[in-house]
């Protein structure tokens, strides 16, 4: 595709400049810090064209199946073992639609580069350089712009989400607000860890898995040094776990020098799905901060000594997002209200709430504002 100005998908032209600026800024900073294995920065025109083609491809079908594909802008020389096609393929809607059935598996990316003012497809790759510009076609009309974390571990960092004419650009400064929960800071790339068994990295994988089953659910993360959380639960509990199940916890405790990353990722995925599947059961699932499973299907109730939660500080980490003080029922249904009440009572805990419609909210207590805060983070989990 020739790199000419103009786009038939208007949202592409609106987000091209801030996205190009994001990658240029981070790549320059990484280079200054001596980081290696860095990708090439995409120009504003390249960002616009790739998003434009990806959007229209997302609306196409091949043999009745919608297009799902991940597009990575990179020179094939920037990756160790690329799968190179015998000749260059034109970068266009029709070609992406034809290729999609063969590259829709997670972790496979279609490589795109430019030469002589044109974009072309050179092959596929399962490896990416740091800060590589990636556009993921998740479902019809839904695009996610992201890049690989500098540590190479865990979920990619999302930069923007485009759903039809709805545009959300991630505000990286959101995590700088007082009392931001660690899971938000890590997803924003503010406070990431290169250690594969870091508890926050594991919690992110749990959140992604919770959202993926699309049945909705609540996960309560409680302190391991006391059982005060039981004061905010209806008794008797229908599904207590005794002794506590330690599948995920045992993985985290393993020595990272003695276990390969591939082994850990496979084992973690299995153990995480074992736990997060239970969040689909009516009620809340309870784990402690060591990721030991304590109960599931529990009913949340206001503690006998507490008061009803009237307001929470609601925010979303997007450009233009303004924190609002609202009643928790305005965020969602009974799940959100009960999760907010739980955190209002158990202020050293964390509550993760997945909605059936894909929304995902983290509830925590803010000492600075003396309020329950609700961070909607689904834009970072897609």
Give the model's pLDDT for residue 194: 56
Q: What is the largest CA-CA distance in the chain?
A: 71
Give the model's pLDDT for residue 264: 73
Prior bond of 236 cis (ω within 30°): yes
Q: Between the CA of residue 51 and those of 4, 27, 275, 307, 319, what are the distances in Å?
A: 14, 20, 36, 49, 19
Give the model's pLDDT for residue 2: 55
DSSP secondary structure code for residue 39 in this structure: P
Give the model's pLDDT for residue 42: 96
Tens digit of each residue's pLDDT, the chain (382 residues): 555 555 688 999 999 999 999 999 999 998 998 888 899 999 999 999 999 999 999 999 888 888 999 999 999 999 888 999 999 999 999 999 999 999 988 889 999 999 988 999 999 999 899 999 999 998 999 999 999 876 545 568 899 999 988 999 999 888 777 788 989 988 887 766 556 667 888 898 899 999 989 899 999 999 999 999 999 999 999 999 999 999 988 888 876 666 666 677 788 888 999 999 999 999 999 999 999 999 999 999 999 999 999 999 999 999 988 889 999 989 988 999 999 999 999 999 999 999 988 899 999 999 999 999 999 999 999 8
118 phi, psi to nearest 5 deg: -130, 145
Across 211-311, where does the E strand assignment appear? 217-222, 239-245, 284-288, 293-298
- Helix or strand (DSSP H, E) at 71: strand 69-73
Scanning the structure block, which residue is given the tokens 């809607």? Answer: 93
Domains and CATH numbers, the chain: 10-169 (no CATH), 191-381 (3.40.1700.10)
Give the model's pLDDT for residue 295: 97
Q: What angle do CA 263, 265, 266 make, to 5 degrees?
A: 65
**What pTM did the predictor assign?**
0.87
């Amino acid at each position: 595709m020739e790199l000419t100005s103009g786009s038939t998908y208007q949202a592409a032209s609106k987000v091209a400049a801030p996205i190009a600026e994001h990658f240029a800024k981070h790549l320059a900073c990484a280079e200054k810090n001596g980081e290696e294995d860095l990708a090439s920065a995409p120009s504003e025109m390249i960002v616009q064209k790739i998003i434009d083609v990806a959007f229209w491809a997302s609306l196409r079908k091949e043999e009745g199946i919608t297009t799902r594909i991940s597009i990575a802008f990179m020179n094939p020389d920037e990756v160790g073992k690329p799968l190179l096609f015998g000749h260059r393929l034109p970068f266009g809607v029709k070609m992406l639609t034809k290729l999609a059935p063969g590259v829709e598996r997670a972790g496979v990316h279609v490589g795109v580069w430019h030469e002589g003012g044109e974009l072309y497809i050179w092959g596929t790759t399962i490896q990416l350089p740091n800060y590589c510009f990636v556009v993921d076609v998740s479902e019809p009309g839904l695009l996610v712009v992201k890049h690989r974390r500098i540590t190479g571990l865990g979920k990619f960092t999302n930069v923007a989400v485009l759903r039809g004419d709805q545009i959300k650009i991630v505000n990286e400064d959101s995590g700088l607000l007082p009392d931001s929960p660690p899971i938000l800071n890590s997803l924003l790339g503010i406070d990431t860890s290169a250690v594969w068994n870091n508890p926050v990295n594991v919690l992110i994988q749990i959140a992604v898995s919770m959202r993926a089953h699309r049945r909705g659910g609540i996960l309560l993360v409680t302190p391991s040094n006391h059982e005060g959380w039981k004061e905010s639960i209806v008794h008797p509990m229908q599904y207590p776990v005794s002794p506590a199940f330690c599948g995920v916890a045992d993985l985290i405790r393993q020595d990272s020098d003695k276990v390969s990353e591939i082994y850990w990722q496979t084992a973690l995925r299995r153990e995480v799905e074992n736990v997060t599947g239970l969040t689909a059961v009516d009620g809340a699932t309870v784990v402690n901060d060591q990721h030991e499973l304590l109960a599931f299907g529990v009913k949340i109730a206001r503690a006998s000594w507490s008061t009803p939660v009237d307001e929470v500080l609601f925010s979303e980490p997007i450009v233009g997002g303004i924190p609002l003080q609202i009643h928790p029922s305005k965020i969602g249904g009974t799940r959100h209200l009960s999760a907010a009440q739980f955190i209002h009572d158990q202020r050293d805990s964390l509550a993760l709430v997945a909605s059936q419609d894909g929304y995902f909210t983290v509830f925590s207590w803010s000492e600075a504002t003396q309020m329950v805060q609700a961070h909607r983070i689904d834009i970072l989990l897609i």
